[in-house]
Amino acid sequence: MKSKIDTILIIDFGSQYTQLIARRIRECGVYSIIHDNRITLKKLKQINPKGIILSGGPESLTGKNNLKISKSILISQIPILGICYGMQLIAATFGGKITKSKKQEFGSSIFTRIGKSKLFLGKKISKKFKVWMSHADKVTKLPRNFQSLGSSTNSEISGFSNEKKKIYALQFHPEVTHTTNGKQILINFCKNICGCSKSWTTKNKIEEIISEIKAIVNNDRVLLALSGGVDSTVVASLIKKAIGKNLCCMFIDTGLLRKNEVQDVEKNIKKGLKLNLITVDAKKKFLKNLKHVTNPEKKRKIIGETFIRTFEEESKKLKNIKYLAQGTIYPDVIESSSSSSKSDVIKSHHNVGGLPKKFNFILIEPIRKLFKDEVRKIGRELSIAQLLLDRHPFPGPGLAVRILGEVSKEKINILQEVDHIFIEEIKNANLYNRISQALSVFLPIKSVGVMGDQRKYNYVVAIRAVKTNDFMTADISEIPYKILNQISSRIVNEVPKVARVVYDITSKPPGTIEWE
């Protein structure tokens, strides 16, 4: 079936950023589909895209094993934009040369553009601008009939095009927010080059998700693993719209939650969303299974497994549950991706990589391909209370991945108090909505301090606040010193077992947002 609305096809070569490209295209108001590199000409004609984007990827065209694409796709006369590996693939296919670079480029670089290209149309794009790079190989000779678009700090040819054939290639990543003009470049490609109209909206997305759920689930019952966070709350609302009372929500109290979380969630879901909610007290089980475990990945797997087993057990008490729904979003998926994907595993998010191989439900994850802010937009469209949508994300494995080393009841209590004070203070300072995520971490070390006239030898906690749109990359969110001082003073004074507070100033990358 041919797509009725203007579509951009993204061909995936295993980049961490492929879904980010898809999401940026959606931001341009254009529908996008992702396909792997084995796409055939027949399939391409079925999809009938107005443009093709070739993603980046971890492979190298200077090595033996690399991902290619049928040349027929590249000469199909559909406009093409190759990004990073995609650029090198275009160069290799049309007779350019690629060599291993002595100087790799990872992170920020400056791109200086030359000549005129439709890709850089518009006053907004300056001659020199900041771009995000991630490559070892580089194009050293242009293919015939292609012209250079510019250079960067470490590569002479950082982009090229054949304007007549509408084939464009960029070494840098326009989809990453750190590339100054990235969005405008993608708008230029979709609108000016491919001629796409703005026809993709949040409303469309909601309708698409609801009809997908209906088609999968039919008249069966769905059990939703609800955490009370933005993602699972939005999923609850979507599934309720799709199947009404066949949705059953279950909230597992893992004992690894924030202070007062259980009461807050019960209030928000029962009152706010008018949904039935079963709360399961599994605190003891989680703590028991985590005993003596210090390895972060092991913790995540154990929590994932305990979660699912608890669900299985509890669902036996309910009738005819066939599906288990989760609020998994894309950053959870990409950072947990397994060997079937070309992207490296970063950490196993408990509602994805942490799942055991066998369990007795069919899993449905309606927002698996979306990013946090897109989920919030959907929530807004569904009229979910702003207060609920603005909540900072809280990871499925909860405080267990914020307690370095072995988890214990004592450490959980300490961290809950610390976290409560930290969040309260940033709310009092009107910073909560300016910070994308704030968290506290329990460090398994002790430090010397002095209180009153007494020497204190007690735990160290870290506080962290980040600013990000998509949680794939993040900058530190600056909290004024005066507020930091107030936070630190309250924590040390009000939480007896804490002697010292440190402030995490690591961005992502190289750090991740959570500490484990």
Catalytic pick from 59, 175, 374, 417? 175
Locus of tokens 């609020």: 327
Residue 298 φ then ψ, to 5°: -65, -40
**Beta carbon of residue 514, minimum distance to ligand XMP (angstroms, whole number):** 3
Q: 3-state class of 462 per DSSP?
A: strand
Nearer of residues 143 and 396 to ligand XMP, judged by Cβ = 396
Residue 84 designated active-site: yes
**Beta carbon of residue 364, minimum distance to ligand XMP (angstroms, whole number):** 16
**Beta carbon of residue 351, minimum distance to ligand XMP (angstroms, whole number):** 5
3-state secondary structure labels for all residues of 213-244: HHHHHCCCEEEEECCCCHHHHHHHHHHHHHHH
Residue 420 designated active-site: no
**Beta carbon of residue 312, minimum distance to ligand XMP (angstroms, whole number):** 19
Task: Specify whether the CB–CB gap between 432 and 419 falls below 8 A.
Answer: no
**Beta carbon of residue 395, minimum distance to ligand XMP (angstroms, whole number):** 3
**Inter-CA distances, 165 with 45, 80, 115, 194, 290, Å:** 18, 9, 17, 12, 59
Residue 406 designated active-site: no
Nearer of residues 139 and 412 to ligand XMP, judged by Cβ = 412
Nearer of residues 416 and 437 to ligand XMP, judged by Cβ = 437
From CA 424, how far away is CA 417, in angstroms rounded? 11
Please provide the size of the chain in residues.
516
From CA 460, how far away is CA 456, in angstroms rounded? 12
Nearer of residues 332 and 417 to ligand XMP, judged by Cβ = 332
Kindly state the helix (H) or strand (E) to which residue 494 belongs, with its residue range. helix 481-494
Catalytic pick from 28, 59, 173, 349? 173
Identify residue 499 by its one-letter amino acid code.
Answer: A
From CA 427, how far away is CA 434, in angstroms rounded? 10
Spatial neighbors of 267 by CB under 8 A, at least 6 apart, are none
Nearer of residues 109 and 437 to ligand XMP, judged by Cβ = 437
The token duo for 371 is 């990013």
Nearer of residues 350 and 377 to ligand XMP, judged by Cβ = 350
Q: Helix H segments across 269-346?
A: 283-289, 296-315, 330-335
Nearer of residues 182 and 331 to ligand XMP, judged by Cβ = 331
Q: Which residues bind ligand XMP (CB under 6 A)?
A: 300, 331-332, 335, 347, 349-351, 393, 395-397, 437, 471, 508, 512-514
Task: Specify whether the CB–CB gap between 319 and 221 falls below 8 A.
Answer: yes
From CA 376, how far away is CA 469, in angstroms rounded? 11
**Beta carbon of residue 258, minimum distance to ligand XMP (angstroms, whole number):** 12
**Inter-CA distances, 32 with 373, 393, 512, Å:** 18, 26, 28
**Beta carbon of residue 217, minimum distance to ligand XMP (angstroms, whole number):** 22
Catalytic pick from 28, 59, 84, 190? 84
Sign of CA dihedral 411, 412, 417, 421: positive
Residues serving a catalytic function are 84, 173, 175
